[in-house]
């Protein structure tokens, strides 16, 4: 069994970096080692019972003794998280989940990210050479600042729904363009983001005979495979997103 830790981490930094994301940095030696992109952390937001359940967040970046996450404020948990300050303690469990495939042979890696799928795919593109990182947002103000993308080893192409930067429309439009320009048999797609986006990506991949995998992020309770609260429908039966995933191959997922 893979080793996991439940650590009292200390917040080093917590700030808003653009219209969409906050960045939280905390110190922890064990949680910063031997991480596969796509793995996640389960964070106890408060010491009390509110909110009762931990909240899952992907690894965004690690350095010795430090972990960074990027998060969007959506509900009560992330609202409270956004109020944490330097020096505050935080109980953090991890690393959890399987993570993305890193070895894909000679194929070209195409990463398709949206929303909460951006942090794990930037992490992957920083650590493993990728050909394309496609990012979809509503507008320019939501795209990560360049400083957060400068270590990415991939061509970054953005799509905005309002056309304020890059391709106007959904990120799947950019994916179709890449597929037209490349030899589709040589591509391998990895995606994370809203389910509607991932389903559209999988449909395009199926039409073009391209293999890939998706991080199927379900809401989670225990995060360690015990409560069966995060089940994903796969062709070989129900699987636990937290322990068997969150990354599943396109061929495994029920479209
Ligand atoms: C494996 C995994 C990795 C994740 N990584 C990140 C990350 O790196 N950055 C980030 O900002 N968020 C990430 N999330 C989502 C994050 O866990 C939720 O946004 C968070 O739990 C919301 O908590 P809350 O109390 O603020 O909102 P809640 O009150 O719990 O929910 C607010 C709204 O968000 C929706 N929501 C909650 N969880 C999810 C989910 N998993 N998928 C889609 N919608 C959801 C709810 O349905 C509701 O509409 C990840 C989730 C998973 C499962
Ligand atoms: S969250 Fe409990 S089994 Fe996945």
Q: Which domain CATH number covers 13?
A: 2.40.30.10
CATH number, domain with residue 186? 3.40.50.80
Ligand 1 atom nearest 97 alpha carbon = 1
Atom 39 (ligand 1): residue with closest C-alpha? 219
Q: Nearest 5°: phi and psi at 122?
A: -65, -40
pLDDT value for 211: 98
Ligand 1 centroid to Cα of residue 193, in Å, is 11
Q: Which domain holds residue 200?
A: 108-215
**What is the structure's pLDDT at 49?**
84
Q: What tokens appear for 6 in the block?
A: 């439940």
Q: Which residues line ligand 2 (CB under 6 A)?
A: 220-223, 225-230, 240-242
Please name which of 47, 63, 54 lies closest in space to residue 13, comparing C-alpha atoms: 63
Tell me the pLDDT of the chain (255 aa) as tens digits: 678 999 999 999 999 999 899 999 999 999 999 999 999 999 999 988 889 999 999 999 999 999 999 999 999 999 999 999 999 999 999 999 999 999 999 999 999 999 999 999 999 999 999 999 999 999 999 999 999 999 999 999 999 999 999 999 999 999 999 999 999 999 999 999 999 999 999 999 999 999 999 999 999 999 999 999 999 999 999 999 999 999 999 999 997
Residue-level pLDDT at 2: 74
Q: How confident is the model at residue 47, as a pLDDT?
A: 84
Ligand found nearest the CA of 118 = 1
For residues 27 and 60, state if they share a domain: yes
CA 78 / ligand 1 centre spacing (Å): 8
* Burial status of residue 218 (CB atoms within 10 A of its CB: 0-12, 13-18, 19 or more): middle
> Does residue 182 sit in the same domain as residue 133?
yes
Q: Are residues 84 and 118 in the same domain?
A: no
Q: Which ligand is nearest to the CA of 225?
A: 2
Select from 52, 228, 232, 245 the residue to mutate for testing ligand 2; criterion: most ligand atoms less than 8 Å from CB: 228
Ligand nearest the Cα atom of residue 99: 1
- 177, part of any domain: yes
Cis peptide before 249 (omega within 30 of 0): no
User: Rounded CA gap, 30 and 219, in Å?
Assistant: 25
pLDDT of the residue at 50: 86
Residue nearest to atom 30 of ligand 1 (CA): 75
């Amino acid at each position: 069994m893979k080793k996991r830790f439940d650590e009292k981490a200390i917040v080093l930094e917590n700030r808003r970096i653009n219209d969409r994301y906050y960045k939280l940095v905390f110190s922890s030696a064990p949680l910063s080692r031997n991480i596969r992109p796509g793995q996640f952390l389960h964070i106890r937001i408060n010491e009390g019972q509110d909110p009762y359940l931990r909240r899952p967040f992907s690894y965004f970046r690690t350095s010795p003794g430090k972990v960074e996450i990027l998060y969007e404020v959506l509900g009560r948990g992330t609202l409270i998280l956004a109020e944490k300050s330097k020096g505050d303690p935080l109980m953090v469990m991890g690393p959890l989940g399987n993570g993305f495939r890193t070895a894909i042979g000679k194929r070209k890696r195409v990463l398709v990210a949206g929303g909460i799928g951006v942090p794990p795919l930037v992490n992957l593109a920083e650590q493993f050479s990728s050909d394309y990182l496609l990012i979809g947002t509503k507008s320019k103000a939501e795209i990560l600042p360049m400083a957060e993308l400068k270590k990415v080893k991939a061509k970054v192409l953005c799509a905005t729904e309002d056309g304020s930067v890059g391709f106007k429309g959904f990120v799947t439009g950019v994916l179709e363009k890449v597929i037209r320009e490349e030899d589709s048999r040589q591509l391998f797609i990895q995606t994370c983001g809203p389910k509607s986006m991932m389903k559209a990506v999988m449909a395009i991949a199926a039409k073009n005979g391209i293999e890939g995998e998706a991080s199927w992020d379900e809401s989670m309770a225990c995060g360690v495979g015990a409560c069966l609260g995060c089940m994903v429908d796969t062709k070989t039966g129900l699987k636990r997103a937290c322990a068997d995933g969150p990354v599943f191959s396109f061929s495994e997922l029920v479209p």
